[in-house]
Structure formats: C-alpha cells, structure tokens
Amino acid sequence: MLNAGIRRVVMATRDPNPRVNGGGAEFLQAQGLQVEIGLLAEEARRLNEAWFKWVETGLPFVVAKAAASLDGKTATAGGESQWLTGEQARSYGHQLRHELDAILVGVGTVFADDPQLTVRLPKHTTKNEKRKTKNGFKDPVRIVLDSRLRLPLSARLLHLDSPAPTWIACTPAAPKDKIQEIRDLGVEVLMLHSEPGGLVALKPLLAELGSRRIQSLLVEGGAETLGSFFDQRLVDKFYFFYAPKILGGKTAPGMLAGAGVKHLGNALQAKDLEVRKFGPDLLVTGYL
Ligand SMILES: NC(=O)c1ccc[n+]([C@@H]2O[C@H](COP(=O)([O-])OP(=O)(O)OC[C@H]3O[C@@H](n4cnc5c(N)ncnc54)[C@H](OP(=O)(O)O)[C@@H]3O)[C@@H](O)[C@H]2O)c1
C-alpha cells in the first residue's frame, strides 16, 4: 500500500471475530499508514448483522416473519389462511429462507399446515455449496418446537429429500418411545429444559443453536411461537407482510399470541422501520 502511495485508510468497523479483530488495522498502522475506524459503522454492522450478533454473543440473530391482513389477522374467523399475500411476497419469504441458516415453527403450525419449510423458487446458482438444493438454493435447517413430541410421524418435515436436517426441540415430558421413533426416521431430537407452562425453553435453545453455528434464525410462526419470542424479547428484526385485505372477526387470530404487555409503557419499541411493496402487499421491516 505504501508503495502505491496510499497514506490513509478509512474502515467502517473492525471484524468482531476475536481471531482477527484489529489485526489488519494494527498491521497498517505499523507500516506508517493513518487508519481511521468508525465511518458508517452502524450501516456496516447492518450489512453483517447476523455475523456480528453471533460472534459477539454466541446466539443467532433472530428474525420474526408473519403475514396478515391489513387489520392484523392471520386467518379468517372460519380458520382460512392460505393465501393472504400474493406470489411476490411469498417468493420473498422463500428468499429469506435461503438467506438465513435456520427456520423455526411451533408444532401447532405442523398440525395446521404440514409445512415443508424448504426453499421453493425457480432455478438459481448459489455460491454456498453446503445444503444446496436441486434448484440451486440453500435450504435452512428446520426446527420445530414440540415439547411433548405431539407431531405425527407422517409429518412431511420428517420425510424430506433436503440437504438440510430437521431438528425437533422437545422437553423431558416427551415420551421416550416417540423420541426413538423420530430418531429411527433419521431426524434429530433436541432435549431442552421446559419453561413455565411446560414449553420448550427458548433461551437455552438459542444457545444450543449458536453452538451449532446457526448464525441466523427465521421464526415463521404461528402466533403462539412468535408471541413467546416477542414476550421474551428475543427478536432482533421483524418482517411483517400486510395483504390489502380486511378480515375482522373477534375470534380471527392475530400475528402474535403469548402474554403480550399489560401496560403501554412496556410495549416493545420498534425502530428503523422500512416499508416496501411486493405486488399488492406491503412489507414492514424493523428492529427491536
Ligand atoms: N400468517 C402467518 O404468517 C403464519 C405463519 C405460520 C403459521 N401460521 C398459522 O398459525 C397457526 C398455528 O399457530 P399456533 O399459534 O396455533 O401454533 P404454533 O405457534 O405453530 O405452535 C404452538 C405450539 O408449539 C409448542 N411450543 C413448544 N414450545 C413453545 C414455546 N416456547 N413457545 C410457543 N410454543 C411452543 C406448543 O405445543 P406443545 O405444548 O405441545 O409443545 C404450542 O402449543 C396455523 O393456523 C398456521 O397456519 C400463520
């Protein structure tokens, strides 16, 4: 660099990885270059937000995603939910699955939708050879919260032809024979503590996922699962899609269940909101 006449280097941020942190900057300073760090630091962190969180905390960056009508309902009072949003919004949802390391749903969604949680998009070439699907995308690791292993052995998630594994997270309340039956299908069962109410403890689950190098997690629902993540303040970023439909209905479910907050002063405050359009639908993203 000195030979090329460069005297001053401006860096947005250091790499948080303790193995390299500052090494490059110190080397350049030792060569006599002036090094300034911090210009557009926040923007640079955002470009690599999952990596920063994982390296600094050992936990995955948690992204919540849900789709609702304009009035916040995820299904009609009669229980119909597919499909609220249009083709373009749903494709973007699949793109998110491709970009993030893992995807998580509650067992209620497995009962309701029997989802595959794979990336289904037109053919594409990815640089990431690991977990690459036949059409060139990367499937995320699939995780189901199922404290008592109620999911049926016929669930599609247990029989997928995908390069990524499915992990079922349960508690000691799960029957031993069901654990074995699921393992016999070649699917891993993660044994975790239970939290009050007997549900899978989320913080230990995130720590376990982090230790397995899951750097980013997409929480797709349903409402109970998303409610638990928001109640425990575990969400870093959200993607809320809104279809231009109004459903109403006292019993029609909303995006989040869980306990919620009793006082407005305890509301989670979203920041850095952005709004985008996907065909007729709106996407609101933000950070917590
Ligand atoms: N619009 C959308 O974006 C969207 C996305 C996904 C799903 N959905 C819809 O959501 C509906 C299902 O939602 P849901 O709220 O009934 O069920 P859910 O959130 O999918 O699953 C909830 C179940 O997961 C288990 N669980 C274990 N640990 C948990 C924890 N820490 N927190 C929360 N749950 C935990 C519990 O069953 P155990 O006690 O047996 O463990 C709980 O009853 C379906 O109709 C589906 O179509 C909508």
Domain boundaries, the chain: 1-44, 48-287
Beta strands at 237-243 and 61-69: parallel, antiparallel or unpaired: parallel
Which segments of 65-192 does DSSP mark as H helices, in order?
A: 87-99, 107-113, 176-184
CA gap 162, 73 in Å, rounded = 32
Distance from residue 242's CA to the centre of ligand 1 (Å):
20
Pocket of ligand 1 from Cβ distances under 6 Å:
66-67, 74-75, 81, 105-109, 112-113, 145-148, 150, 199-200, 202, 220-225, 228, 257
> Which atom of ligand 1 sits closest to the CA of residue 66?
3
The percent of residues in the chain predicted with pLDDT above 90, rounded, is 67
Query: Which CATH superfamily does the domain covering 48-287 fall into?
Result: Dihydrofolate Reductase, subunit A (3.40.430.10)
As a 3-state breakdown, the chain gives helix, strand, coil percent values, each rounded to 5, of 25, 25, 50
The percent of residues in the chain predicted with pLDDT above 70, rounded, is 93
Confidence at residue 130, expressed as pLDDT on a 0 to 100 scale: 60
Taking only the tens place, the pLDDT of each residue in 70-127 is 999 999 999 888 889 999 999 999 889 989 999 999 999 999 889 888 888 776 555 5
Taking only the tens place, the pLDDT of each residue in 263-288 is 999 999 999 999 999 999 999 999 99
CA gap 256, 140 in Å, rounded = 23
Choose one of 117, 145, 167, 256 to mutate for the ligand 1 pocket test, by most ligand atoms within 8 angstroms of C-beta. Answer: 145
Choose one of 167, 194, 224 to mutate for the ligand 1 pocket test, by most ligand atoms within 8 angstroms of C-beta. Answer: 224
CA gap 121, 211 in Å, rounded = 30
**Closest residue CA from atom 34 of ligand 1:** 225
Confidence at residue 81, expressed as pLDDT on a 0 to 100 scale: 85
Taking only the tens place, the pLDDT of each residue in 210-246 is 999 999 999 998 999 999 999 999 999 999 999 999 9
Distance from residue 147's CA to the centre of ligand 1 (Å):
12
CA gap 48, 42 in Å, rounded = 10
Which segments of the chain does DSSP mark as H helices, in order?
A: 23-30, 41-47, 49-57, 87-99, 107-113, 176-184, 202-211, 223-231
> pLDDT confidence of 201, banded at 50, 70, 90?
very high
> Which atom of ligand 1 sits closest to the CA of residue 150?
40
CA gap 50, 205 in Å, rounded = 17
**104 DSSP β-pair partners:** 143, 219
Confidence at residue 226, expressed as pLDDT on a 0 to 100 scale: 97
Terminal-to-terminal C-alpha distance of the chain: 41
Greater pLDDT, 203 or 22? 203
Taking only the tens place, the pLDDT of each residue in 152-198 is 999 999 998 888 899 999 999 999 999 999 999 999 999 999 998 89
Distance from residue 14's CA to the centre of ligand 1 (Å):
39
Confidence at residue 128, expressed as pLDDT on a 0 to 100 scale: 58
> pLDDT confidence of 1, banded at 50, 70, 90?
low
> Which atom of ligand 1 sits closest to the CA of residue 257?
15
**Closest residue CA from atom 26 of ligand 1:** 145
Confidence at residue 132, expressed as pLDDT on a 0 to 100 scale: 63
